[in-house]
Structure 1
Amino acid sequence: MSKEELIIKAFENKFNGDDGAIVAKWCFSKDLFFENVHFKREWFSLEQIAAKAMLVNISDAIVMNAVPKYALLGLALPKNITNDEISQLQRGFLKTAREFGIQIIGGDTISNDKIDISITIISKIKKKPVFRKGLKKGDLLAFTGDLGQSLRGLEILQNSGKLDKNHRFIRPKLRQDFFYDVAEKLHCAMDISDGLSKDLSRMLKLNKLGVKWLLNLSQEELFSAEEYEILFAFDEKDKEFIEKKAKKHGVRLNIFAKAKKGRYEFRGKEHHF
Structure 2
Amino acid sequence: MKGNNLRIKDIGEFALIERLVEVLGPAGRGAGQGVIRGIGDDAAVLQNNPGTRLLASCDMLVEGIHFDLSYFTPRQLGWKALVANLSDIAAMGGRPRWALVSLGLKPEMKVSFVEEIYAGIAELAGKFGVTIVGGDTCSSPERLVIDICILGEAYRAEVAYRSGAHEGDLILVTGKLGAAAAGLAYLREGGKAAIDGAEELRQAHLKPVPRVKEAAILIHSGMVGAMNDISDGLASELHEIVQASGCGARIWTERLPISQATALMAAHTGVNPLDWALYGGEDYELLLTISGEKGSPLKARKLGRTLAKATGTPLNFIGRILPLSGTVEMVRPDGEIEPLLPEGYNHFKE
Q: In the TM superposition, what are the counterparts of 1:88-103 in structure 2 within 5 Å? A: 88-103=116-131
TM-score (norm 2): 0.67
Whether 1:74 and 2:74 are equivalent positions in the alignment is no
Residue 47 (structure 1) shift: 0.8
Distance in 2 between the 1:41 and 1:201 partners? 32
For 1:18-167, what aligned pairs fall within 5 Å after superposition? 25-112=53-140, 113-126=142-155, 128-161=158-191, 164=199, 167=203
User: Which aligned runs of 4 or more in structure 1 are off by greater than 6 angstroms?
Assistant: none
Say whether 1:261 aligns with 2:291. no
Task: Give the partner amino acid of 2:68.
Answer: K
Of 221, 242, 248, 2:303 maps to 242
Determine whether 1:211 maps to 2:211: no
**Comparing 53-62 with 174-183, which one deviates more in the overlay?**
174-183
Q: Percent of aligned positions with the same letter in both sequences? A: 27
Q: Structure 1 CA distance, aligned partners of 2:176 and 2:301? A: 20
What are structure 1's unaligned runs of at least 5 residues? 1-22
Quick one: which amino acid aligns to residue 209 of structure 2? K
Contact 2:304 2:316 in 1 (8 A): no
CA distance, structure 2, for counterparts of residue 155 and residue 213 of structure 1: 26
Answering whether residue 265 of structure 2 is matched by residue 201 of structure 1, we say no
8 A contact 1:214–1:258 mirrored in 2: no
User: Which among 255, 278, 286 is matched to residue 230 of structure 1?
Assistant: 286
Q: Which has the larger radius of gyration?
A: 2
1:17 maps to which residue?
none
Deviations 1:196-241 (A, max 9, x none): 0111111112212222334434222111211101100001334244
SS in 1 for 2:238: helix
Q: Return the alpha-carbon distance in structure 1 between the equivalents of residues 302 and 314 of structure 2.
A: 14
Q: 1:175 aligns with which of 192, 211, 232?
A: 211
Cα shift readout 1:18-42 (whole Å, capped 9, x = no counterpart): xxxxx96111111111211111011
Structure 2: gaps (5+ residues): 1-50, 193-197, 257-273, 329-339
Aligned residues: 251
Residue 269 (structure 1) shift: 5.1
TM value normalised by structure 1: 0.85
Could you say if the C-alpha distance between residues 251 and 270 of structure 1 is closer, same or farther in structure 2, counting changes exceeding 3 Å?
closer
Cα separation, partners in 2 of 1:253 and 1:161, compared to 1, 3 Å: same
The structural deviation recorded for 1:271 is 2.1
Q: Which moved more, 1:211-220 or 1:127-136?
A: 211-220
Instruction: Name the one with the larger helix percent.
Output: 2
Deviation at 1:125, TM superposition (A): 0.9
